[in-house]
Amino acid sequence: MRVVSGIKPTGNLHLGNYLGAIRQWVVMQDDVAAKGGESLFFIADLHGLTEWIAPEELAGHTIEMAAALIAAGIDPARSILFNQARVPQHSELSWLLNNVARVGWLNRMTQFKDKAGKNREGASVGLYDYPVLMAADVLLYNATHVPVGEDQKQHLELTRDIATKFNQDYRRELFVLPEPMVSTEAPRVMSLRDPGAKMSKSNPSEQARVNLIDDDDTIAAKFRKAKSDADVLPDSVAGLADRPEARNLVTIYAALSGSTPDAVLAEFAGQGFGAFKPALADLAVATLGPIRDRMLRLLDDRAEVGRLLEAGAERARALAAPLLLDVQRTMGL
Ligand code: ADP
Ligand code: NA
């Protein structure tokens, strides 16, 4: 079993990024290791180029994402953690697979349509070709399993189509067809001010978002002042149907405690937010505080984080190079 997963470098990391993405990787790393498998995690800086970003910002986000991942529990000794650009075989295989993928296949990708919006003519070729780079990312390592969220299912299907066509065209079973890995549902964390909006780096209010670098008092204050309602908590999630603020806070409590919303409600049923919010604030400080401390310590020496990524890239290149050579030879290069 070999699992390959990438994450785009993004800055101003917040609780939504942690519970929705970063922590999912930590859980995955442990699950895969328990099954005797191997994990490769990369920061998708090449994918980061598909929409304009200033160079210093992209470089900073890559290091910050790496620091957050390591602080949250990705172990660069157990998993192969690297940034994509340092393994040139990703780009090289992507070019080779461009000649296997069909324009008609890419034209069907809904994510391109969503991201390009009305300005399709003005979108970068990279944004259009993004799914082929994704195919290269996983085929390069003969990944057996790829974790996919709902929005990436179509891209994994495309990866399998590209691998199948390659194997047929060149009459060799060179590429392994990766299977989707159903991971535990990532919670969707909503704004603490407006539960109709996702918690995001672009929330209009700073109070809407708990940043991974917030200090303990700030974390606690944001939860104590989070929008809520005047009712007591019900004894099951069915009772939260029309209470989006309450549902969000219970979801966050469950995710931070590694529990379920129903289990949280079993504990707090009948209590109001005067009791629940301080408990949530304490839990958040206890969980996020140590991660923040580790992350800030790592970011004190950004060059060292860069060296950890480089060590991962070296291991990734060792896996990728023979496969790329095999593909080249197979294609007559
Ligand atoms: P933002 O929404 O702040 O711009 P990104 O779009 O850069 O964050 O997201 C990076 C990763 O974090 C993605 O995998 C995304 O699904 C996850 N993520 C971002 N915001 C949330 C959220 N509020 N709840 C759950 N996951 C989130
Ligand atoms: Na976003």
Task: Point out the annotated binding site for ATP.
Answer: 8-10, 16-17, 149-151, 189, 198-202
Which ligand is closest to the CA of 200, given by its number?
A: 1
Q: Of the candidates 82, 78, 88, which has an alpha carbon nearest to the alpha carbon of residue 63?
A: 82
What pLDDT is stored for residue 182 in this prediction?
75
248 contacts 19 by C-beta, under 8 angstroms: no
Determine the atom of ligand 1 nearest the C-alpha atom of 198: 23
Q: Of the candidates 146, 114, 159, 108, which has an alpha carbon nearest to the alpha carbon of residue 25?
A: 146
Confidence (pTM): 0.95
Residues of the chain falling short of pLDDT 70: none
Whose Cα sits closest to atom 26 in ligand 1? 20
Which ligand is closest to the CA of 68, given by its number?
A: 1
H-helix or E-strand containing 6? strand 2-7
Tokens linked to 180: 């989707």
Whose Cα sits closest to atom 19 in ligand 1? 17
Measured between alpha carbons, how far is 260 from 29 in angstroms, rounded to an integer? 21
Q: What residues are annotated to the active site? A: 115, 198, 201
Query: 325: CA distance to ligand 1 center in Å?
Result: 36
- Predicted confidence (pLDDT) per residue in 34-77, tens digit: 999 999 999 999 999 999 999 999 999 999 999 999 999 999 99
What pLDDT is stored for residue 1 in this prediction?
94
Measured between alpha carbons, how far is 318 from 315 in angstroms, rounded to an integer? 5
Measured between alpha carbons, how far is 189 from 195 in angstroms, rounded to an integer? 9
Whose Cα sits closest to atom 2 in ligand 1? 200
**Residue entry with tokens 């709902």:** 150
Query: 200: CA distance to ligand 2 center in Å?
Result: 7
120 lines ligand 1 (CB under 6 A): no
Query: 10: CA distance to ligand 2 center in Å?
Result: 9
What pLDDT is stored for residue 229 in this prediction?
95
Please list the residue range(s) of the chain that carry CATH number 3.40.50.620.
2-187+301-331
The residue count of the chain comes to 333
199 lines ligand 1 (CB under 6 A): yes
21 lines ligand 1 (CB under 6 A): yes
Bridge-based pairing of strands 179-181 and 145-147 is parallel
* DSSP state letters, 31-92: HHHHTT-EEEEEE-HHHHTTS---HHHHHHHHHHHHHHHHHHT--TTTSEEEEGGG-THHHH
Query: 197: CA distance to ligand 1 center in Å?
Result: 12
What pLDDT is stored for residue 149 in this prediction?
79
SS3 287: helix
Sheet holding 179-181, edge to edge: 80-83, 38-43, 2-7, 145-147, 179-181
Please list the residue range(s) of the chain that carry CATH number 1.10.240.10.
206-297
SS3 246: helix
Cα–Cα distances in Å, from 293 out to 12, 22, 62, 229?
16, 16, 19, 33
Determine the atom of ligand 1 nearest the C-alpha atom of 187: 25
Cα–Cα distances in Å, from 89 out to 42, 203, 270?
13, 37, 57
Task: Point out the annotated binding site.
Answer: 8-10, 16-17, 137, 149-151, 189, 198-202
- Residue 193's DSSP bridge partners are none
Whose Cα sits closest to atom 20 in ligand 1? 16
Determine the atom of ligand 1 nearest the C-alpha atom of 190: 23
251 lines ligand 1 (CB under 6 A): no
Its CATH class, for the domain covering 2-187+301-331, is: alpha beta
Bridge-based pairing of strands 80-83 and 179-181 is unpaired
9 lines ligand 1 (CB under 6 A): no
Cβ burial, residue 165 (10 Å; 0-12/13-18/19+): middle
59 contacts 40 by C-beta, under 8 angstroms: no
Measured between alpha carbons, how far is 223 from 276 in angstroms, rounded to an integer? 10
What pLDDT is stored for residue 282 in this prediction?
98
Query: 54: CA distance to ligand 1 center in Å?
Result: 20
What pLDDT is stored for residue 62 in this prediction?
98
CATH number of 206-297: 1.10.240.10
What pLDDT is stored for residue 107 in this prediction?
95
Q: Of the candidates 246, 241, 239, which has an alpha carbon nearest to the alpha carbon of residue 277?
A: 246
Phi and psi for 13 in degrees, rounded to 5? -65, 145
**Residue entry with tokens 């919670």:** 187
Measured between alpha carbons, how far is 209 from 221 in angstroms, rounded to an integer? 11
